[in-house]
Chains A and B, each alone.
Chain A
Amino acid sequence: DSGVTQTPKHLITATGQRVTLRCSPRSEDLSVYWYQQSLDQGLQFLIHYYNGEERAKGNILERFSAQQFPDLHSELNLSSLELGDSALYFCASSVGTGTDTQYFGPGTRLTVL
């Protein structure tokens, strides 16, 4: 158990819908990262927040957004969902930024029908 929690574990929804994925980092961590894992693209970095501020963006679609709240938990919002958005979404956290070791949560499996 890494200490990073994610909810829900599974999510099934329809195309065009909007969902919110939630992540709670380890108690000592200020950074939260979101990654998408799909069969064709592998593990892709989406976005990084540090202490409430966006620090880096990766291959994140405009339909996706994220935020980190004052209590340091983070939410990833996915809207206008398409079939191709079906994937495992992982959250990771680290103490700081840069090369600090990232600890991963168990992931949320999103299925878009």
Chain B
Amino acid sequence: GEDVEQSLFLSVREGDSSVINCTYTDSSSTYLYWYKQEPGAGLQLLTYIFSNMDMKQDQRLTVLLNKKDKHLSLRIADTQTGDSAIYFCAESREGYSTLTFGKGTMLLVSP
């Protein structure tokens, strides 16, 4: 299977919370990242979490990491229409310079 897996699509209403999930297979993953890609744009780094952490909060974003289940989630509180984008989960491993990306989750926020 894929190294990093994400659900492909999520639809929410403005003001609700969004939760985007990601699973990874490599237990040696060191950092886990969330990137955002708006239509026609590049990848914007949103946040990242080191593998020895369980949770990281940054304004409306909360990242939860369950290392035992190799599960990562990104919660966006009070989702706005401007949050509509594709969200990529990515992992890096100690000793490797590459990022391994999931296929991305398209978040659609309706008014």
Query: Interface on A for B, CB 8 Å cutoff?
Result: 2, 4, 31, 33, 35, 42-43, 45, 48, 50, 55-56, 58, 90, 92, 97-99, 101-107
Given contacts A90-B43, A98-B95, A98-B97, contact A42 B104 (CB under 8 A): yes
The answer for the CA separation of A58 and B101 in the assembled complex, in Å, is 13
- Residues on B with C-beta less than 8 A from A4 are 42
CB of A68 to closest CB in B, whole Å: 13
The answer for the CA separation of A58 and B100 in the assembled complex, in Å, is 11
Say whether chain B's binding surface is mostly helix, strand, loop, or mixed: strand
Do B97 and A56 have beta carbons less than 8 Å apart?
yes
Say whether chain A's binding surface is mostly helix, strand, loop, or mixed: strand
The answer for the CA separation of A97 and B99 in the assembled complex, in Å, is 11
| Residue of A2, A45, A58, A101 touching B44 (CB-CB under 8 A) | A2
The answer for the CA separation of A35 and B45 in the assembled complex, in Å, is 15
The answer for the CA separation of A97 and B33 in the assembled complex, in Å, is 16
The answer for the CA separation of A44 and B9 in the assembled complex, in Å, is 20
CB of B67 within 8 A of chain A? Answer: no
- Residues on B with C-beta less than 8 A from A97 are 97
The answer for the CA separation of A50 and B45 in the assembled complex, in Å, is 21
The answer for the CA separation of A104 and B41 in the assembled complex, in Å, is 10
CB of B53 to closest CB in A, whole Å: 14
- Residues on B with C-beta less than 8 A from A35 are 99
Closest to A88 in B: B42
The answer for the CA separation of A97 and B30 in the assembled complex, in Å, is 13
Do A42 and B45 have beta carbons less than 8 Å apart?
no
Closest to A6 in B: B42
Do B95 and A102 have beta carbons less than 8 Å apart?
no
- Residues on A with C-beta less than 8 A from B88 are 43
Do B98 and A45 have beta carbons less than 8 Å apart?
yes
CB of B92 within 8 A of chain A? Answer: yes
CB of B75 within 8 A of chain A? Answer: no
Do B30 and A101 have beta carbons less than 8 Å apart?
no
